[in-house]
Structure 1
Amino acid sequence: MIAAKFQTFLILLTVLAGTALVARRFNIAPAILLMLSGVGLAFVPGMPPVELPPELVLLMVLPPLIYSASVAMSWREFRNNLRPIVLLAVGAVIFTAAMVAAATHYLIGLPLTVGFLLGAIVAPPDVVAPLAIARRLNLPRRLVVILEGEGLANDATALILYRFALAAIMVGHFSLPLAAGEFALIVAGEIAFGIGVGWLSLRFRKWSRDPQVELTLSLITPYVSYWLPEHVGGSGVIATVACGLYVSWNGPLLISSATRLQGIFFWDLIIYLIEGLLFLLTGFQMRALYEKSKTFPLDDILFATAVVLTIIVIARFAWLYPATYLPRILSKSLRERDPSPPWQWPFVLAFTGVRGAVSLAAALALPFTLPGGEAFPYRDLILFVAFGVIFVTLIGVGLTLPPVVRWLGVAEAGRTEHVAEHEAEIAARRQALDAALKSLDALTAEKEISDEVMRLLRARHEIRVNQLPDSLDPAHHDVSAAGTALTRSLIDAERKFIHDLLRDGQITDETRRRIERDLDLEEASLANREYREGPL
């Protein structure tokens, strides 16, 4: 049994790697191909069924995904866009859930509590797939920040609504004032708890000063911030977001450079595997759903899915345009401080309403029976609709968002913004180097430093200054690219010579590893420079 599961795991990893290569070759969002691959694998003869336990997503997979995205996000940008993020992550989720509840009640005949439960499940858009697509399309930075902030926080709103609706179905009554008070208490408590966990995590990591220990602590941190609030009745999402944002803002001066370099590769691999396997396993659920659908009227499934899809699309557009322009109409100070964006921007935000694995996990987590022993009402229908919404939004938005963005002309604003950001980066690097040179002069005046040491330090400083481009024109980029390619060739020649010395017994393996590490760091610096100076 263990061997069979391990073989299945290896198959999934192989498909994950192969799909990533195909996606890069044809410039398609990997999430789309991964989900389709999961659906295809599910029906391969002899392939054992792979179920997606809801606790795996909600307790094991979700915390590191949320934490990693929070750490990668800028606290300043999150704070500056807090109003649109809250309007989407809280307001749009509640509005969508209510719209779904009303539509399914009057068009399908679901009880309002069941309809609201279904609405809470399908209301929160996913953060992974649309962001991956949005970044490739050169969308304006503010749109990406709002999408990322919404994706981080909306799961908390949806999961809290989900628990309220589930409790109302299980016990048979619901109190709106009590639920509103509990919601506010959960939000405030989780923010405080998440900040506390982030503070403790950074202090422990600073005391350890060991990259392996620090990375282990960084992996533990999201689970501590998520599990405890979730265990006492909260969502855990808000605490994890607060923890990640705190670490993002305060970590640079407390985390060592060795840990930061290793942490980039460590977390990139962790998130790559988690996201890829999550989409694959989501597609795998098609087999189990197909078996269940044989005892359920297909017309009912298709009609319910079509109704819910239509409602969530309409609800997102209906919420976003008033939420974007109405506050500016009502507030002169807001209008002056933050002028209204072009109509294309809210259109793009409304269009990227992809649902993800959290919706499916919430549907799978529904109990099979009520406290009295009766079957949970409409459980299978909710599960079918949730998967249908995920499948259609992921495939549909993933394939149509690029042409929609090109049609709207939004990417041009993003490219202009990217040029300005690149120029600001060059200026910041020059200012930082000037500050370092002044610090060197001050140290020279305070301490006795030999001329040889001073020459070495100034030579290093001049090399770093010369590496910075003077402009962003294509001619300079061509010269920089040629220099980078030649430098890479020199590194390859040096690496080959070191390998020959090792083979001839003139140096030890340990010596070779130390030299290779320096060469690897230099090559990584070249790769970072290529990314920074690449075509816009």
Structure 2
Amino acid sequence: MGRRGRGGVLGEIEFLIVLLGAVVLLAQLARLSGVPYPIALVLGGLAIGFVSTIVPGVPEVELAPEVIFLVFLPPLLNSAAFLSSPRDLRVHLRPIAQLALGLVLVTTLAVAVLAHYLFGLPWAAAFVLGAILAPTDPVAAEGIFRRLGVPERVSTVVSGESLVNDGSALVAYRVAVVAATAGGFSLWEAGLEFLLTGGGGLVLGLVLARLLLPLWARLREPSILITTSLLLPYAVYVVAEELHVSGILAVVSYGLYQGWRAPRLFSAASTRLQSASFWSTTVFILESLLFVLVGLQFPVVLRGLDGTTVPEALLYAALVFGVVVGARLIWFFTVPYLHPVLDRVFRRSYPRGSWQERLVMSWSGMRGAVSLAAALAIPLTVEGGAAFPGRNLIVFLTFAVILATLVLQGLTLPLLIRSLRIKADDASATITELKARLVGAHAALARLEDLCTNEPVPPGSQEQMREYYEGRIRRYTAGVEAGGATAEYAQSAAYWRRWRMELFEAEREAVISMRDRGEISPEIMRRVERDLDLEEARFAG
């Protein structure tokens, strides 16, 4: 990340601190207003970007593409893959594969045709623009899905599509850039590179995961283990890129494998809690900075237009936005009707889904960081030294579509979900969770009986632990039989939680008072407070 110096009073470090402060303020405003925070951050970055052009002392930020590809994407992709379920992705593999491969190619072709015939871009440059705008960014949509609650199929398909289409679109982008700069193109070679680069990335990520995770699991110090968890996605990405396969898909497959194996590899509860807290904060900071930087870049890109007036460029952007959104809408209302044919071909059925679900998924195709980085990475010149055809226009159109999809689709998606009355089956999810808790409680009780038989457990402790788990089993069983949490259970749980929170606060205040009076050291206070915090976090859910 660089900046243009204009005799300003803010250096890069100072400006980064200001940006972090803006992130905190904008995220809080988004929470209070109910607006998805990526949208608030983009609009805030846009405002800061325009202010930087007129206020002396505010540097203009120029974001290098390698900053996004290398600094931001590996941990963000790893976190998204880690939290995904390979089993759910396999259940919905058909639509995810169709979107990540088929829709990427359709979008690329549709945008290329528009850019060539209406904007006058050469075919190769037009395909570069199409490939740049093909991948989706699910961050804003996923936040809305979590807040409003949508069917599991919708969230899994949208997030799974984004995990894969980043890699497939960038492979198409590389092929198009080579064709534009070298002046040659072979469909057979392009298809082979597409398969080798994408497939090679997926395989390499799995191989590295199988090699690295057993070594990583030998670490016991939480600080070292968590730091290593941050470094490994970077290592996987760099190794994949050095071997000329997709670093993005390598990180995705690594993250999926890591997420599935981690519960057995890392059994220490304190390490998991610290790791979850660390990754949640890290992802928030990286995503927030990225969205602010997207907005910051727009004024710089706007001034870079040459040979095209701003009204013309805005008209072109509106047309491209229409094609991108239209291609996705058409896809979701045509291709799913081929499922009966594909059922016979693959000898496995897959339900088409309601039109309401498909409309929500079609309106969830926001564009984001990958498109931004790809646009900025377009070479300045082609072979022979001539300028890359239409580069500034391509960069502008990319930024405009990113902003339009994030703001227009992001703000209207909640209204669409509410108007269509799309809701997750909360009762089914609750019953499934209660059954899991019930199985765990039965396993603990069985283990307790083994311990009582084979080890000298005091009778009082035996009875206390047995009553505790038998009480949990009775509550969970009643909830399952009632089709979810019973009214009595919900009411008693609410009272219990409220009273327990007040008791926690009383304990904490007593311990802090002892420290104030000099009766205990700050270190002892922090140890007691940590135990209380862990208990309170469990009860707070």
Whole-angstrom distance in 2 between the partners of 1:133 and 1:154: 21
Q: Say whether 1:447 aligns with 2:447.
A: no
Tell me the TM-score normalised to structure 1 length. 0.93
What is the aligned partner in structure 2 of residue 346 from structure 1? 358
Query: Match for 1:100: what amino acid?
Result: V
Give the conservation status (yes or no) of the 8 Å contact 2:340–2:349: no
1:173-322 pair list within 5 angstroms:
173-255=184-266, 256-293=268-305, 296-322=308-334
CA deviation vs aligned residue, 1:240-268 (integer Å, no higher than 9, x gap): 11001101111100013222110100000
Whole-angstrom distance in 2 between the partners of 1:188 and 1:333: 23
Q: Say whether 1:523 aligns with 2:531.
A: no
Q: Say whether 1:364 aligns with 2:376.
A: yes
Match of 1:505, SS state, is coil
Give the conservation status (yes or no) of the 8 Å contact 2:515–2:522: yes
Whole-angstrom distance in 2 between the partners of 1:63 and 1:306: 32
Query: Match for 2:34: what amino acid?
Result: N
CA deviation vs aligned residue, 1:195-225 (integer Å, no higher than 9, x gap): 1222233212221122111111110111112
Q: Say whether 1:123 aligns with 2:134.
A: yes
Whole-angstrom distance in 1 between the partners of 2:255 and 2:359: 29
Whole-angstrom distance in 2 between the partners of 1:269 and 1:398: 23
Displacement of 1:511 in angstroms is 1.7
Q: Say whether 1:433 aligns with 2:441.
A: yes
Query: Match for 1:434: what amino acid?
Result: H
Whole-angstrom distance in 1 between the partners of 2:50 and 2:474: 58
Whole-angstrom distance in 2 between the partners of 1:311 and 1:132: 25
Distance 1:197 1:259, change over 3 A: farther
Distance 1:323 1:366, change over 3 A: same
Distance 1:378 1:207, change over 3 A: same
CA deviation vs aligned residue, 1:172-204 (integer Å, no higher than 9, x gap): 111111111122222332222111222233212
Query: Match for 1:29: what amino acid?
Result: P
Distance 1:461 1:506, change over 3 A: farther
Distance 1:334 1:167, change over 3 A: closer
Displacement of 1:514 in angstroms is 1.5
Displacement of 1:474 in angstroms is 4.8
Distance 1:152 1:364, change over 3 A: same
Displacement of 1:467 in angstroms is 7.2
The one of 383, 388, 406 aligned to 2:418: 406
Give the conservation status (yes or no) of the 8 Å contact 1:101–1:112: yes
Query: Match for 1:446: what amino acid?
Result: N
Give the conservation status (yes or no) of the 8 Å contact 1:39–1:286: yes
Query: Match for 2:16: what amino acid?
Result: F
1:48-59 pair list within 5 angstroms:
48-59=59-70
Query: Match for 1:181: what amino acid?
Result: L
Q: Say whether 1:478 aligns with 2:516.
A: no
What is the aligned partner in structure 2 of residue 457 from structure 1? 465
CA deviation vs aligned residue, 1:379-414 (integer Å, no higher than 9, x gap): 000011001100111110111111111222222xx1
Q: 435-444 or 323-332, which moves further after superposition? A: 323-332
Whole-angstrom distance in 1 between the partners of 2:158 and 2:352: 18
Unaligned runs of 5+ in 1: 529-536
Give the conservation status (yes or no) of the 8 Å contact 1:75–1:245: yes
Whole-angstrom distance in 2 between the partners of 1:341 and 1:291: 45
Give the conservation status (yes or no) of the 8 Å contact 2:198–2:246: no
Displacement of 1:134 in angstroms is 2.0
1:377-396 pair list within 5 angstroms:
377-396=389-408
Give the conservation status (yes or no) of the 8 Å contact 1:93–1:124: yes
Give the conservation status (yes or no) of the 8 Å contact 1:156–1:237: yes
Q: 387-396 or 45-54, which moves further after superposition? A: 45-54
What is the aligned partner in structure 2 of residue 325 from structure 1? 337
The one of 113, 118, 123 aligned to 1:102: 113
What is the aligned partner in structure 1 of residue 19 from structure 2? 12
Displacement of 1:456 in angstroms is 4.5
Whole-angstrom distance in 1 between the partners of 2:345 and 2:375: 43
Give the conservation status (yes or no) of the 8 Å contact 2:475–2:489: no
Give the conservation status (yes or no) of the 8 Å contact 1:96–1:315: yes
What is the aligned partner in structure 2 of residue 164 from structure 1? 175
Q: Say whether 1:66 aligns with 2:74.
A: no
Whole-angstrom distance in 2 between the partners of 1:456 and 1:502: 33
Query: Match for 1:30: what amino acid?
Result: Y
The one of 126, 137, 151 aligned to 1:140: 151
Query: Match for 1:243: what amino acid?
Result: Y
What is the aligned partner in structure 2 of residue 531 from structure 1? none
Tell me the TM-score normalised to structure 2 length. 0.93
Unaligned runs of 5+ in 2: none
Whole-angstrom distance in 2 between the partners of 1:368 and 1:333: 46
Displacement of 1:524 in angstroms is 0.7
What is the aligned partner in structure 1 of residue 519 from structure 2? 506
Match of 1:50, SS state, is strand
Distance 1:37 1:407, change over 3 A: same
Whole-angstrom distance in 2 between the partners of 1:166 and 1:268: 36
- Same amino acid, percent of matched pairs: 37
Whole-angstrom distance in 2 between the partners of 1:229 and 1:213: 24
Q: 290-299 or 236-245, which moves further after superposition? A: 290-299
Give the conservation status (yes or no) of the 8 Å contact 2:104–2:135: yes
Match of 2:217, SS state, is helix
Whole-angstrom distance in 1 between the partners of 2:128 and 2:305: 21
Match of 1:375, SS state, is coil
What is the aligned partner in structure 2 of residue 493 from structure 1? 506
- In the comparison of the two structures, how many residue pairs are matched? 524
Give the conservation status (yes or no) of the 8 Å contact 1:12–1:277: yes
Give the conservation status (yes or no) of the 8 Å contact 1:104–1:307: no
Whole-angstrom distance in 1 between the partners of 2:12 and 2:513: 43
Whole-angstrom distance in 1 between the partners of 2:324 and 2:120: 18
Query: Match for 1:429: what amino acid?
Result: R
Distance 1:483 1:57, change over 3 A: same
Give the conservation status (yes or no) of the 8 Å contact 2:138–2:365: no
Give the conservation status (yes or no) of the 8 Å contact 2:38–2:291: yes
Give the conservation status (yes or no) of the 8 Å contact 1:364–1:383: yes
What is the aligned partner in structure 2 of residue 28 from structure 1? 35
Whole-angstrom distance in 2 between the partners of 1:334 and 1:437: 44
Query: Match for 1:448: what amino acid?
Result: P
Give the conservation status (yes or no) of the 8 Å contact 1:65–1:271: yes
What is the aligned partner in structure 1 of residue 49 from structure 2? 42
Whole-angstrom distance in 2 between the partners of 1:308 and 1:298: 15
Q: 327-336 or 25-34, which moves further after superposition? A: 327-336
Give the conservation status (yes or no) of the 8 Å contact 1:186–1:234: yes
Give the conservation status (yes or no) of the 8 Å contact 2:50–2:299: yes
Match of 1:149, SS state, is helix
What is the aligned partner in structure 2 of residue 78 from structure 1? 89
Whole-angstrom distance in 2 between the partners of 1:107 and 1:13: 41
Whole-angstrom distance in 2 between the partners of 1:491 and 1:252: 29
Whole-angstrom distance in 1 between the partners of 2:173 and 2:162: 17
